[in-house]
Amino acid sequence: VVTPTAPASPTSVVDIAHRGSSGAAPENTIAAVELALRQNASYVEVDIQRTADGELVAVHDTTLERTTDVEEVFPARAPWRVGDFTLAELRQLDAGSWFSDEFAGERIPTLREVVDSLGRRAGLLLEVKSPELYPGIERDIDKELAAIPGYLTSAVAAGRLVVQSFDHESMRRFHDLQPAVPIGLLYSDRPDESDLAEAKGWAAQINPSYRVTDAELVERVHELDMTISVYTLNDAATMRAYRDIGVDGIISDYPDVLRGVLYER
């Protein structure tokens, strides 16, 4: 059986901060990662894409206008695709003010900065976002993680790294490159028997939207020796409901609320 890969809470449900502690800080920034750490999150999820000069950065949308001031800084560069900008250009953007003035000047971080910020304090749930836009990104991520002294071996041994994506072919490629790293498959629609049969044997985690998850699916995933983490649960009542049907992990914008629920009995 693939076990949950983080320090167990009393209910053994792993708490995962979605895009950092993104309910209270700007998503996918070091401020959001550090807040999640201060809130004792067991895992932090971030979305990884690639710049025009091949750097790996944490951004959710494939364009920059929702979470930065790119329209003011680079007005002529519409449609502001992440992959059309160099890292030096992305560094000029304010990735915090859209959220609140308190976070003005927050920058888009690199994957390496996220890993360094986490240290050994929390695990990393690394989502490969829209890999079809970034051919070869699986190899880039593997190389980047492997280049961090001591990171891959110790993170895998300690259960502090999972790589996930909605793009399951990308995850198959990552698994073939780096079979030691547990893989999560994201689903917005309910995975059916053929999806689960395809995942069994190489994927460690089935990670669906909570909207398509029920006790029957949880049981079936467990029968197939995989774990199941659901996204994105932001109120305590919904967190309790999914805790009680036996999910292995819960992904939330409010990791502080989530920890409260997991420790309440």
Kindly tell me which residue out of 31, 70, 251, 262 binds ligand G3P, with binding defined by CB under 6 A: 251
Report the residue number, 77 or 159, with the smaller CB distance to ligand G3P. Answer: 159
Its sign, for the CA torsion 198, 203, 205, 208, is negative
Q: Does position 44 bind ligand G3P by CB under 6 A?
A: no
Here the tokens at position 250 are: 């819960």
Instruction: Point out which span in 9-17, 43-51, 87-95, 102-110 binds Ca ion (CB under 5 A).
Output: 43-51
Helix axes 255-262, 236-244, angle to 10 degrees: 50
Q: Binder to ligand G3P among 210, 231, 242, 254 (CB under 6 A)?
A: 231
User: Parallel, antiparallel, or unpaired for β 56-58 and 43-50?
Assistant: antiparallel
Residue 60 annotated in active site: yes
Contact 118, 40 (CB under 8 A): no
Site map 166..185 versus ligand G3P, x via CB under 6 A: --------------------
Contact 141, 128 (CB under 8 A): yes
| Sole binder of ligand G3P in the list 127, 248, 253, 256 (CB under 6 A) | 127
138, 177 contact by CB (below 8 A): yes
Examine residue 47 and tell whether it contacts Ca ion (CB under 5 A): yes
Q: How far is the CB of 71 from ligand G3P (least distance, A)?
A: 22
The one of ligand G3P, Ca ion, none whose footprint includes residue 251, by CB under 5 to 8 A per kind, is: ligand G3P
| Residue 18 bears catalytic tag | yes
Q: Which stretch binds Ca ion (CB under 5 A): 47-55, 104-112, 190-198, 244-252?
A: 47-55
Q: Which of 18, 168, 175, 222 is flagged as catalytic? A: 18
The count of other CB atoms within 10 Å of the CB of residue 112 is 16
CA-CA distance, 154 to 139, in Å (whole number)? 20
18 lines the binding site for ligand G3P (CB under 6 A):
yes
User: Any contact of residue 61 with ligand G3P (CB under 6 A)?
Assistant: no
Q: Does 106 bind Ca ion (CB under 5 A)?
A: no
User: Exposed e or buried b for every residue in 205-227, given b needs 16+ CB within 10 A?
Assistant: bbbbebeebeeebbebbbebebb
What's the rounded Cα separation, in Å, for the pair 160 and 181?
A: 10
Query: Considering only residues 200-229, where is the footprint of ligand G3P by CB under 6 A?
Result: none
| Amino acid at residue number 131 | P
Q: Where in the sequence numbering do the catalytic residues fall?
A: 18, 60
Please report, as ranges, the residues that interact with Ca ion according to CB under 5 A: 47, 127
Contact residues for ligand G3P, defined by CB under 6 A:
18, 45, 47, 60, 127, 186, 231, 251
